[in-house]
Amino acid sequence: MTLDSRYPAIADLKARARRRLPRFVWEYLDAGTGTEATCRRNEEVFAGLRLMPSLLHGEQTPDLTTRLLGQAYQMPVGIAPVGMSGLIWPDAEGHLARAATAAGLPYTLSTVASQTPEAVGPHLAGNGWFQLYPPRDPEIRQDMLRRARAAGFTTLVLTVDVPVASRRERQLRSGLTQPPRLSPRLLAQVAIRPAWALGMARRGMPRMALIDDYSRPEKGLSSTAHAGYLLRTSPDWDYLSWLRDAWQGPLVVKGVLDPDTVPRLVAAGVDALWLSNHGGRQFDAAPAPLEVLPAIRAATDLPLIVDSGISGGLDILRALALGADFTMLGRAWHFALAALGAQGPAHLARILRLDLESNMGQLGLIRPSEAPDRQMKIT
């Protein structure tokens, strides 16, 4: 059997990933916060959006190329930041960066990744975005930006929807701490997941490499209140203004949901808005990005990026139909890594491409950018 026949959808990769990861790692990757109502709502809003298929449009050859922030990507989707990716699979950041470059997609490295910008940047060939959890100390702030720029990261992403640590109850119950330490309870879980265990034995348990350069991680922190919180602050409008002056390149604000904030973000000189509720991991009463997308689209001509709840190519087209310019997936790429190892991200890129092409054919679209023309066909 081929990978296409065994794992034709993200759901298949997710199911295999769960079987191959220790439970505490799975909870770290998959958990939301609270009752996970926001996680469910993210998916339900996508599933509830119907598009009218096109008829008699003749033969078409789709072109998935999408321009964003002055760069052409091979599909309207990229890799969102996930902290401590290296806990999910050994060398996760390296695997994902190389896969992104091969597929012509952007890869976003988290401030709290398990590898530094210097280690990941050489794999990215200009496709690198750096996600910033805002440091409080101005010297650390300046140095992080300097290092990201020197490592070849071209776009800066300021995450604004994590003013405090969330309580991801499933993570807390799992017993995971930061930095990860293998208690007897966790070792029992590792023992029955040999592929993960062997990879970690070869590479060693991950740490927050960039954070470690600036702060000694504290012991006993929960899985959600990690050492990064010792350095970061909750940014305000002055912080954004400082960042706009300090970063010479595209600046994206991630975590935008309130249409009323859009005019001020535009005035601040932001280059794109990233609509996100952190995949349901931060606040369990937040709206789904798709719910607020039309109002934010009406408020600005800036490029809009959407994540949270996307389960395949059809959901990408749903977001584009409502006015998004681009989409990002986070968990899905890590499901692919955990399911299939190094070949997983390339297989997921193939799944997304085939799914986009199939559904674009149903909608009579040649380019993803034509999706807004189908808004009138939403029922």
What amino acid positions are annotated as catalytic residues? 278
* Residue 134: both structure tokens together: 């805002």
C-alpha span between 19 and 26 (Å, rounded): 9
Backbone φ and ψ of 250, nearest 5°: -60, 135
**DSSP string spanning 289-307?**
HHHHHHHHHHH--S-EEE-
**What is the 8-class DSSP label of residue 142?**
H
d(CA 292, CA 72): 26
To which residue do tokens 């199911």 refer? Answer: 15
Task: Show Cβ contacts of residue 345 under 8 Å, excluding neighbours closer than 6 positions.
Answer: 79, 95, 96, 99, 100, 103, 333, 336, 337
Given a contact cutoff of 8 angstroms between Cβ atoms, the answer to whether 62 and 356 are in contact is yes
CA distances from 190 to 80, 123, 195, 201, 220 (A): 27, 30, 9, 11, 20
As a whole number of angstroms, the distance between CA 153 and CA 145 comes to 9
Query: What stretches of 288-376 adopt beta strand conformation (E)?
Result: 304-306, 326-329
* Residue whose entry in the numeric block shows the structure tokens 């009579």: 364
Q: Cα(313)–Cα(368) distance, rounded to whole angstroms?
A: 11
Using CA atoms, how far apart are residues 91 and 334, in angstroms rounded to an integer? 11
Name the DSSP class of 309: S
| Whether the Cβ atoms of residue 179 and residue 208 lie closer than 8 Å to each other | yes
Q: Give the Å distances, CA to CA, from 326 to 74, 79, 297, 369.
A: 11, 11, 13, 9
Specify the residue for token string 């033969």: 59
Report the C-alpha gap between 288 and 193 in whole angstroms: 34
Question: For residues 358 and 354, what is the distance between their CA atoms, to the nearest angstrom?
Answer: 6
